[in-house]
Amino acid sequence: MRTALIGAGLLLLGGIAVVTGILPVSDALVLWDRVWPILLFVVAVTVVTELAAEAGLFTVLAQQTARWGRGRAWLLWLLVVIVATVSTIFLSLDTTAVLLTPVVVVLARHVGLSPLPFALTTVWLANTASLLLPVSNLTNLLAQHAMGSPTPLEFAAMTAAPAAVAIVVPAVAVFLIFRTSLTQRYTPEARDPIEDDVLFWCSAAVVIALLPALVSGLPVWLPASAAAIVLVVLFAVRRPSVLTFGMLPWQLVVLASGLFLFIEALHAVGLATVLATVSGSGESPLDLLRLAGTGMVGANAIDNLPAYLALEPVADSPVRLVALLIGVNVGPLITPWASLATLLWHQRLTALDVPMSWRRYMLLGLVVAPVTVVLATLALSLTLA
């Protein structure tokens, strides 16, 4: 509820800016035309993933992963890295944080391993792996529009090198931190039966069909909405009790709407001029590092979405936009509020009684985030050479 209240407050402030003429109505309408497809996608993909989880898709995937690990903790962890990366790239960072976290925690406990390396891997990759495709992060969808709407494959061509670095570096860091527990052995658990075969296999088919559709070049809200409608109809027939208002990410939508309008109002009074002085200009390695670093600091100070919105006007080329995305996507590993995914992740850990103090999280992030941002930005620079 706190998230919705903050969003409502920001919407009120943005509305006051429109009413008083600080933000012209025409600019507000242009903003709405830009963001409604993004918000619709967020709602639709959340419904898809929530219903797929209810059908047991992610639990079965986790159990199969445990068998593929062949009793070796390091191999099981590596498979979790792959699942978290794929989930984040195709289904967004919030999906990974919300749905995969309890799965990997339960998985680790069932085979007698510490859940901490698996949980930390999930949240770090939920953030850092969200660089490759437009659908991976809300900031990417905004950047895609600012770049002139390149196709998902064209977008990936620009982000591939830094995205690879942003996945590998945190994963290596987790292995080094938890190397003792990740060199143990375990006994795979028996597979639980699927409660409803029709729901399971239909949900699996919908998700499998959705993944290529999200990178096909279609507006992402179209296939996501179609997939959501199919699953809603299916569950309405076979398990209607699951269909509740609570599965809709309404608090996130209210927060995102408020941030969009509020930051647009700040731009109307000269925010971009101030930030241009801080973030600089140009596309040299140092210029890109300066922008990415500013994005990282901004994300950890006020959350990655408003940080992106504030800095977008000074990222005036596709390359600088990618550098900004590195800062606001890869950098939010330090403070709890740096991304909504991190807050959602910690809520799940608390509910599962997994001890992970914010102090320890922040200390680890203070080391890993700057290193990852710098190396990812240098990888971007090398692609320009």
Dist. CA 372–CA 125, nearest whole Å: 12
**pLDDT at residue 252 greater than cutoff 80:** no
| 302's tokens | 């006020």
In the chain, which ranges are continuous DSSP H helix?
A: 2-19, 25-54, 57-68, 73-91, 93-95, 101-110, 116-128, 138-146, 152-177, 197-214, 221-238, 250-268, 271-279, 285-302, 304-311, 318-325, 340-351, 358-384
Count other Cβ atoms within 10 Å, centred on residue 302: 15
Dist. CA 181–CA 179, nearest whole Å: 6
Question: Which of 354, 371, 362, 380 lies closest to 116, judged by CA?
Answer: 354
Residues 6+ away with beta carbon under 8 Å from 203? 51, 52, 55, 57, 231, 234
More confident position, 329 or 23: 329
**pLDDT at residue 145 greater than cutoff 80:** yes
CB-based burial label for 208 (10 Å; 0-12, 13-18, 19+)? exposed
Q: What is the pLDDT of residues 302-331, one digit of tens each?
A: 888 888 988 998 898 999 999 999 999 999
**pLDDT at residue 157 greater than cutoff 90:** yes
CA 344 vs CA 93, 337, 351: distances in Å = 10, 10, 11
Dist. CA 209–CA 232, nearest whole Å: 16
Q: Mean pLDDT check: name the lowest of 148-152, 197-201, 247-251, 273-277.
A: 273-277
Q: Scanning the structure block, which residue is given the tokens 């040299």?
A: 284
The C-alpha R_g of the chain, in whole angstroms, comes to 21
**pLDDT at residue 191 greater than cutoff 70:** no
pLDDT value at residue 189: 67
Return the C-alpha torsion angle 63, 67, 72, 78, nearest 10. Answer: -60
CA 342 vs CA 198, 208, 298, 349, 354: distances in Å = 33, 26, 16, 11, 15
**pLDDT at residue 364 greater than cutoff 90:** yes
By the 8 A CB rule, do 344 and 97 touch?
Answer: yes
pLDDT value at residue 37: 84
CB-based burial label for 8 (10 Å; 0-12, 13-18, 19+)? middle
Count other Cβ atoms within 10 Å, centred on residue 1: 6
Mean of all residue pLDDT scores within the chain: 88
- Calculate what percentage of the chain has a pLDDT beyond 90: 43
Dist. CA 161–CA 150, nearest whole Å: 17
**pLDDT at residue 180 greater than cutoff 80:** yes
pLDDT value at residue 272: 64
Q: What is the pLDDT of residues 85-144, one digit of tens each?
A: 998 998 888 878 877 888 888 788 878 888 999 999 999 999 999 999 998 998 999 899
**pLDDT at residue 367 greater than cutoff 90:** yes
What are the extents of the domains in the chain?
2-384
